[in-house]
Chain A
Amino acid sequence: MRILEGPQPLLTNVEVLEHITEVKRTAASENLQTIIVELQAYLRERPAGNVGNPQKIENIAKFVAAIKQENLEFEKAEILEIFNSAPSSLAVLFCLIEEADMRFTEDQLNKVLDLSAEYLGAEPVPGE
């Protein structure tokens, strides 16, 4: 066994969820079935598979285009983290972006939260 390339490119959670859901139909070995069932359970508790409001794969491109239109410069990994986390507060957004307060104004960061609400769904909150 040799590693030729990677780890790259990064995948969003919703892309992974779509792929494993497809693989599950023909999964033949126990180890594969186990990891798929566990990972599906995990992603149902995240914005990607949020049962009431699952993310849509086509919204990745829409979200990236909207960010670009606002001239917000993010690293690719930051965009994916925002996509996976669907932040709804500045506190959470600050966790996902390096030195957010140095690079962006508060208005810009609030705009990201608006776009998150529009395209990325929400993190399921237990008990709500």
Chain B
Amino acid sequence: MFTLVKIADTIELDPSTFGLPHQQALHQEINKKYANRVLTDVGLCIALYDLQTASDGLLRPGDGSIYIKCEFRLIVFAPFPGETLVGWISSCTEEGLNVRMEFFDNVFIPKAMLFEGTQFIVQEQAWVWKNDEYSLYLDINEKIRFRVEEVVFDKSMRIVASAQIDGMGLISWW
């Protein structure tokens, strides 16, 4: 889910920004520094929500920039275990399903976390959930609902997910 995170940071305004109103320059620089960047153990930063405080500018010797201590809130995509999300199947492998969301494409559903009775069909490169009545395909580009099991911060950020209870799986099923 999306949430707000309050940050304290010193923002550098270099001389190229001096023509802009102060607030506008700070907004731009905060977004430049944080938008579309992963904050480890927190989530993926989307954009500045609001700038709450800004100190007077400080100068450093031998450097034309102004440094301003700011406190501000960011909108952050911070999925949590147990949360239900929706995305698109981007590829199927023998190991499971890769799922993308338009702004975040690092979701993986391991085969052990798919519906019981789901099998990989090598010829079709697709997973099929066979229950008593139907064969339901989990195929590329289908819209899928899944549950966040774990959010991992290693080199970047990734979600390990499951789709094994009623309501999960393709949107068109339920």
Other-chain residue from B43, B78, B83, B171 in contact with A126 (beta carbon distance below 8 A): B171
Which of B1-9, B58-66, B113-121, B122-130 participates in binding chain A? Answer: B1-9
Interface residues of B in 18-48 (CB under 8 A from A): 24, 27-28, 31-32, 35-37, 39, 42-43, 46-48
| Contact call B35/A32, Cβ cutoff below 8 A | yes
Q: Which residues in A have their C-beta under 8 angstroms from that of B55?
A: none
B137 at the interface (CB under 8 A from A): no
8 A-B contact pairs sorted by A residue (CB < 8 Å): A2-B9, A6-B76, A9-B3, A28-B31, A39-B103, A77-B80, A95-B165, A96-B84
Give the interface residue-count category, chain A.
35 or more
B166 at the interface (CB under 8 A from A): yes
Which of A53-61, A63-71, A84-92, A106-114 participates in binding chain B? Answer: A84-92
Task: Give A contacts to B, CB under 8 Å.
Answer: 1-13, 15-16, 19-20, 23, 26-29, 31-32, 34-36, 38-39, 41-42, 45-46, 77, 80-81, 84-85, 89, 91-96, 98, 123, 125-127
B143 at the interface (CB under 8 A from A): yes
Q: Given known contacts A1-B9, A6-B4, is B84 in contact with A95 (CB within 8 Å)?
A: yes
Q: How far is the CA of A94 from the CA of B165 in the complex (A)?
A: 9
| Contact call B174/A10, Cβ cutoff below 8 A | no
Q: Which residues in B have their C-beta under 8 angstroms from that of A39?
A: 46, 102-103
Q: How far is the CA of A127 from the CA of B35 in the complex (A)?
A: 33
Other-chain residue from B7, B83, B103 in contact with A38 (beta carbon distance below 8 A): B103
Q: Which residues in B have their C-beta under 8 angstroms from that of A29?
A: 28, 31-32, 35
